[in-house]
Structures are given as C-alpha cells and as structure tokens.
C-alpha cells in the first residue's frame, strides 16, 4: 500500500529527523566535553581571530548544499559566551544561509537548461525533484526548517520558475530554524 503523505506529515517527519540529528550533534559534543575532557575554547582558539575564514567556510558549505551542519558553526559562535556576540554571529550565519538559498534560486533560474545543471539534476536532484513536484513551494519551507539540502531545494525552486517574492518569504523560515537551534545550543552548556 503506497500511502500519500500530506504536507503537514511531510513537514513533521522532516522536523523530527532534524531534531534527532540536532540532538545527536549536541549529545556528541556534550559527551566529548564531559567524558573526554574536550575543551572547546582551546579547540576553537585558532579560529577566534579569524571570523572571516569561518564565515567563508560556512558560505562555501551552504552554497554547496550544506556539506557541514550549520549547528557546528553555531557552536563556534558560542565560543566566548557573550550573548551579544553570539546573537550577532548567529544572525550573520543565518543571513549567509538565507542568501546562499537566494543564490541557489537564481542559479536554478538562470542555468536550468545548461548541461552542467542537467548533470546535477541526474546525479543529485532526482529525489528532491519528485518531492518538489509533489509539494511545490512548500518544500522550500521544509528545507529551510529541516536538514533537507536548503540550497539544492532553492535551486530547484528557481528552475521551476517559482515566483521570487513568495520564494523569499518562504525561505525566511531559515531564520526561525537558526533562532531555535541557537537557543538550544546556548542553553546546552557546551562551554
């Protein structure tokens, strides 16, 4: 029996996956700190004076489908424990992520008929293309809020000629995800 999943079920399923993934990351970091004595301040000291490098690595990761989980960059942002610095750094990370999605949208819109895009589509996009056909623009909200590859979904959205204003509004869900995850990272007592 092939049961169709509703939009809300699809969102909840992916949110649960995302929360499990998030919990696993935090658990691993806490185990490393509490059982193995990992001192994240010492570990992150070399990057303390190189925020441009960290933001650059994050940008590359986000443009290329979120290779490195954003939560690890949020942990870096927590390093000095100053609330204003943390909020500012997480805001910059969320802007980079959002703008990477916008860039993905324009890439999809401009290059969807090129051979390079078609190769990417054959090798990486097929699963998400099917989901996009099923859920439409709602997939942008799900990708913004969950571990689905946000930039990739944004590329598909551009390729399908989705209206820009609606896309920008739906993609803004990314800020909500960053805010919620940042709060839990702040309260996790990693440092």
Residue 64 lies in a domain: yes
Q: Please state at what angle helix 164-171 crosses helix 83-111, rounded to 10 degrees.
A: 150
Distance CA 150, CA 140 (A): 7
φ and ψ at 123, to 5 degrees?
Answer: -90, -30
Distance CA 63, CA 129 (A): 18
- Report the share of the chain in percent with pLDDT over 90: 61
Residue 169 lies in a domain: yes
Distance CA 12, CA 16 (A): 6
Q: Length of the chain in residues, anyone?
A: 191
153-176 pLDDT, tens per residue? 999 999 999 999 999 999 999 999
Domain extent at residue 15: 7-186
38-91 pLDDT, tens per residue? 887 777 777 878 899 999 999 999 998 888 999 999 999 988 888 999 999 999
Residue 53 lies in a domain: yes
Q: What is the pLDDT of residue 51?
A: 92
Residue 2 lies in a domain: no
Report residue 34 as tokens: 């509490």
Domain count, the chain: 1
Residue 1 lies in a domain: no
Supply the mean pLDDT for the chain. Answer: 90
Residue 126 lies in a domain: yes
Residue 191 lies in a domain: no
Residue 144 lies in a domain: yes
Q: What is the pLDDT of residue 1?
A: 44
């Amino acid at each position: 029996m092939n049961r169709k999943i509703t939009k809300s079920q699809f969102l909840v399923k992916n949110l649960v996956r995302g929360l499990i993934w998030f919990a696993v990351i935090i658990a691993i970091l806490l185990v490393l700190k509490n059982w193995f004595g990992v001192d994240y301040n010492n570990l992150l000291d070399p990057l303390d004076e190189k925020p441009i490098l960290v933001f650059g690595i994050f940008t590359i990761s986000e443009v290329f489908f979120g290779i490195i989980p954003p939560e690890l960059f949020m942990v870096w942002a927590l390093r000095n424990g100053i609330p204003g610095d943390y909020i500012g750094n997480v805001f910059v990370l969320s802007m980079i992520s959002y703008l990477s999605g916008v860039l993905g949208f324009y890439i999809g819109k401009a290059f969807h008929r090129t051979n390079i895009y078609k190769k990417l589509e054959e090798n990486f996009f097929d699963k998400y293309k099917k989901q996009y056909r099923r859920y439409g623009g709602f997939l942008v909200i799900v990708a913004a809020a969950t571990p689905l590859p946000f930039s990739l979904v944004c590329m598909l959205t551009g390729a399908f000629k989705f209206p820009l204003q609606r896309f920008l509004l739906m993609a803004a869900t990314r800020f909500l995800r960053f805010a919620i995850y940042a709060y839990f990272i702040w309260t996790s007592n990693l440092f």
